[in-house]
Structure formats: C-alpha cells, structure tokens
Amino acid sequence: MDSVLVFDVWGEYAHFRKYYTTTSPLTFSIPPRTAVCGLIAGVIGIDKDEYLKHFTKEKADITVRILAPVKKVRVVENLIDTKSALLMSRIKNRTQIRFEFLKDAKFRIYFRHTDPETYAMTLEFLKHHKCVYTPCLGLSEHIANFRFVGEMKCKKVDGNSDFVKIDSVIPIPNGSHIEIDFDRDGGEYFSETIPIEMEEDRTLREYVNVSFERKCASISAKVGRFWEIEGDERIIFL
C-alpha cells in the first residue's frame, strides 16, 4: 500500500488559460496537471525553467478533486506594454482584453512522487504551511492559500466492473470509453480536454479528456481501475 499527499488549495479568482484561445482568454474549469506541477514546484522552490523534468508522469502521480462549484465570470482588464517606456507612469498604450476567470475556486490535490527527497520535501512544506514562491492559481495575481489534509494510504483497485463513485475528475484516454451513470438527480456533467504533460520547452506533449460534475459531487462510473484513499475517497490519477 502506497502513500499519497493530500492538500486543499483555494483562491478568490483563478485562470488556467485554454491553449487554443488568444484575444479573449478562456479558462479551464479545473487546474490542468501541468498547472498543479507548477504549483507544487513553487511551494518547494524548484525553478520554473526546471520543474517540468521533475514532474513527468513517470515520476509523479497527480489528480484533482473539485471542492467548490465551478463558477466563471468575465472581467475586462487593461493590459499595458511594459517595454514601451522605462517608467510605468509614462506608459500610455493600453489594450482592453476580456478575461474569463474561475470565481471562488477550491480544489483538493492528490500527489505522490517516486523520488523520496522530493516527496519528503513536499510533505515538510505542506505540513508546516511553508512555501518558497507564493502559490497562485494560474496567474501570478491570483494568489492562493493551501491547507495540508494529510499523508494518506492509498490502494490500487484493478479489474472492477461495477459502477463506483469517483471523487476526483475522471480522465478518459484517447480512444477509450467510460460508462457514467447520468441518472443522479441534479448532476451537471461536463468534459474538457486538458494538457497533462509538456516538454521542457513548454510544447504540449500529451493531453486528455476529463469528465467532472460542476457542483463538486462524485461521479458514478465504470472505470475498471482506481485508487482508494483512507477516509473513503476514490480517485484516478491524471
């Protein structure tokens, strides 16, 4: 039985930019795996130019659970060209861009790492609410807070053919099909294609389709394989 680090992260606003949007940036409904890697790397102090090689899928298992209903708002921001003048007060050119943000976002992160030193360092920083770089939700101005939930035991369950309630988002690999029970009252089910791994030069290496329930309820699905966390949570790593 393995161990996994569990912590909650939240903020008033969040923005995880969809890679195919330009002039009117839209946000993913959940932090992509790549964004979570950056968040954890910032907490333990790994430089932004180096962290991707330390958090590949072969080295790190990560997934996300939605803890607050997904709400989106649109806000117009004035962007300025900081290269046009040495002093901020002399910048005259401004471009208005309508951004889409997540409002009152809160997520639970599940994380484990094959490197004992990285795992132990992450545990130490989370447990004592310490960080090297200020954590944020996507953009530097969206400062986040976090709370360590605990170091939990997790057990892999393979070959299950029944419906089971999954608390995390559910990744659906390309070409695969997962049967979901949509008959639950009041459920609002969505799916998005999110990046899960990038090259060190930040070109996209892999993406996956994920399903989730907008109001943060668990999803009843036939997934075949999942992980049971002590405390009666069931997750699937991205």
pLDDT score of 92 more than 80: no
* 182-217 confidence digits (pLDDT tens): 876 678 899 999 988 887 777 888 889 999 999 999
Burial (Cβ within 10 Å: 0-12, 13-18, ≥19) of residue 88:
exposed
pLDDT value at position 213? 93
Class of domain 2-235: alpha beta
Burial (Cβ within 10 Å: 0-12, 13-18, ≥19) of residue 81:
exposed
pLDDT value at position 201? 77
- Is pLDDT larger for residue 81 or for residue 145? 145
pLDDT score of 91 more than 80: no
> Which pairing describes strands 225-229 and 233-235: parallel, antiparallel, or unpaired?
antiparallel
Domain ranges of the chain: 2-235
Rounded to two decimals, the pTM is: 0.91
- The pLDDT-based confidence of 175 (bands split at 50, 70, 90) is low
Q: What percent of the chain lies above the pLDDT cut of 90? A: 61
Question: How far separated are the first and last CA of the chain, in Å rounded?
Answer: 19
